[in-house]
């Protein structure tokens, strides 16, 4: 069954009425549709191509404090009748949860601003193949030591999300996403081994993507500079995380300030609200209405308005990230961070989370280190978010006298996230969003580096 936007809107409202006719006192409908195209080219040959068009609808119903959710991609009358009947029957059968329910009616989003996250540009298969080939060719031509490739990927996606509920809220928004990446392989003819690295660009607007040639050249330089990597002896030294790896620190923070982790007691930041967790120059913000942001949207997964939330202000933990359910558990209002898939219950997710940039360039931060480690890749996962204990395999560069001296590998960095945030010494000015979480370069005063 093919439905246009108006028909889909009318269908959502009809399903809400039918759920109420079954006795539901509250309900919401989430519908999503989208188109995606992705190609991978390896050594100029098309290695993979996928194209998809999806449309799904999810229904969530509440009978008092009992609730259930279900979804379908079959929009036939029979399927939708069954969806409403089965979801309502399931909700009546489950146990009560005093915290369940829609957000308060008066809290629903009223303004739905255009956040500049949609680009109607469509690329053909041939155009995507050409972009991927250009990126890979630029990487292979950059240096004679680039002898192979794991491929270049180009992808586009557009979609519409529609949310309606029995409070009278109705909202929808469109978004797009364009990305290009390449992963070249470098070989050292002098016995320095083989190394791979990558680079990429991701934007809401096609015209804002970095050129394929610049992506290829950057990826090639990143791979070549890793040739001749060695181990280092174990010691405690300053550690500098580049943009990509520092982003992961914010990912851990996002998990730790999620309402679900906090009310379950599985976060190292339990009980730390309004307490100092970092130096006074550290600010962490989550901005759901950042213009053009990769996580921007006018309303969250429950229909509440998105907003800018200052999570860390002057080193003080000033806010958690919450949806309605986790906020009720903690006695706090939602921060507009509900996220959900079609047919799923809401959970908490950051929108556009970032360290507020500092004054120093990445080179100035590296230059401040007499002896230490510059991390460019994280390997494996060794983080305990309950205790904050942190241990990750890394690759990067050894710093001597403020300069990158040589590449290193088979190294582990270890510490505790509480201490790592407390020991942030410098934050760079090189913030650039390539995802929903972004960070400038970050310097940690000291960590344990384990090598030989």
> For the residues of 210-272, what is the DSSP string, one character each?
PPHHHHHHHHHHHHHTTTT-B----EEEEEEE-HHHHHHHHHHHHHHTBHHHHHTT--TTTT-
What's the pTM? 0.94
Pick from 7-11, 84-88, 154-158, 314-318: least confident: 7-11
In order, the DSSP letters of 9-43 are HHHHHHHHHHHHHTT-SEEEEEEEEEEEEEEEEET
For the chain, give every domain's residue range.
Answer: 5-34+50-107, 235-249+357-450, 269-352
Specify the DSSP class assigned to residue 107: G
Residues paired with residue 152 on neighbouring β-strands, in sequence order: 41, 182
What class does CATH assign to 5-34+50-107? Answer: alpha beta
- CB atoms under 10 Å from CB of 181, counted, come to 21
Distances in whole angstroms, Cα of residue 304 to Cα of each of 57, 123, 172, 294, 307: 19, 33, 12, 19, 9
Signed CA dihedral, 13, 18, 21, 25: sign only: negative
Give the C-alpha separation, 452 to 232, whole Å.
Answer: 6
Matching residue, tokens 């250009």: 134
Instruction: Give the tens place of pLDDT for each residue, 331-344.
Output: 999 999 999 999 89
In the prediction, which pLDDT does 192 show?
A: 62
Give the C-alpha separation, 23 to 30, whole Å.
Answer: 20
Residue 438 has pLDDT above 70, yes or no: yes
Short-list 174, 172, 159, CA closest to 13: 172
In order, the DSSP letters of 351-369 are SSEEEPP-SB-HHHHHHT-
Which pLDDT band, with edges at 50, 70 and 90, does 237 fall under?
very high
Extract the tokens encoding 415. 């510490």
In the prediction, which pLDDT does 343 show?
A: 87
The span from the first CA to the last CA of the chain, in angstroms, equals: 63
What's the mean per-residue pLDDT of the chain? 95
Query: How remote is the C-alpha of 34 from its chain's centroid?
Result: 19
Give the pLDDT mean for 214-221: 98
Give the pLDDT mean for 237-253: 97
Which pLDDT band, with edges at 50, 70 and 90, does 1 fall under?
very low
Matching residue, tokens 């068009």: 53
Residue 8 has pLDDT above 90, yes or no: no
Instruction: Give the tens place of pLDDT for each residue, 289-332.
Output: 999 999 999 999 999 999 999 999 999 999 999 999 999 999 99
């Amino acid at each position: 069954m093919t439905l246009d936007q108006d028909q889909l809107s009318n269908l959502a409202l009809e399903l809400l009425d039918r759920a109420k006719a079954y006795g539901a006192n509250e309900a919401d409908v989430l519908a999503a549709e989208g188109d995606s195209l992705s190609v991978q080219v390896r050594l100029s040959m098309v290695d993979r191509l996928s194209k998809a068009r999806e449309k799904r609808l999810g229904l969530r119903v509440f009978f008092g404090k009992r609730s259930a959710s279900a979804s379908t991609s079959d929009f036939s009358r029979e399927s939708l009748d069954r969806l409403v009947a089965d979801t309502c029957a399931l909700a009546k059968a489950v146990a009560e949860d005093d915290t369940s329910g829609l957000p308060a009616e008066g809290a629903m989003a009223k303004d739905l601003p255009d956040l500049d996250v949609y680009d109607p540009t469509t690329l053909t298969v041939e155009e995507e193949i050409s972009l991927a080939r250009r990126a890979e060719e630029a990487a292979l031509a950059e240096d004679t030591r680039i002898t192979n490739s794991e491929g270049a990927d180009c992808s586009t996606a557009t979609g519409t999300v529609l949310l309606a509920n029995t409070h009278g809220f109705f909202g929808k928004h469109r978004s797009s996403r364009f990305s290009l990446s390449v992963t070249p392989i470098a070989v050292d003819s002098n016995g320095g081994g083989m190394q791979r690295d990558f680079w990429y660009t991701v934007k809401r607007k096609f015209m804002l993507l970095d050129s394929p040639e610049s992506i290829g050249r950057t990826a090639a330089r990143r791979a070549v500079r890793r040739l001749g990597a060695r181990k280092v002896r174990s010691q405690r030294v300053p550690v500098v995380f580049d943009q990509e790896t520092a982003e992961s620190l914010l990912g851990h923070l996002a998990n730790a300030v999620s309402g679900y982790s906090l009310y379950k007691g599985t976060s190292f930041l339990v009980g730390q609200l309004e307490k100092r967790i970092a130096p006074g120059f550290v600010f962490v913000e989550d901005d759901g209405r950042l213009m053009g942001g990769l996580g921007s949207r006018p309303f969250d997964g429950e229909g509440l308005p998105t907003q800018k939330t200052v999570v860390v202000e002057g080193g003080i933990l000033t806010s958690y990230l919450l949806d309605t359910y986790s906020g009720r558990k903690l006695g706090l209002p939602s921060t507009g961070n509900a996220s959900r898939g079609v047919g799923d219950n809401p959970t908490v997710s950051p929108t556009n989370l970032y360290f507020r940039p500092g004054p120093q360039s990445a080179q100035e931060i590296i230059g401040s280190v007499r002896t230490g480690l510059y991390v460019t890749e994280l390997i494996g996962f060794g983080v305990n978010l309950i205790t904050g204990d942190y241990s990750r395999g890394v690759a990067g560069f050894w710093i001597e006298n403020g300069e990158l001296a040589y590449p290193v590998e088979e190294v582990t960095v270890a510490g505790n996230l509480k201490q790592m945030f407390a020991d942030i010494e410098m934050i760079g000015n090189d913030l650039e969003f390539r995802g929903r979480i972004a960070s400038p370069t970050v310097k940690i005063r000291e960590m344990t580096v384990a090598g030989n």
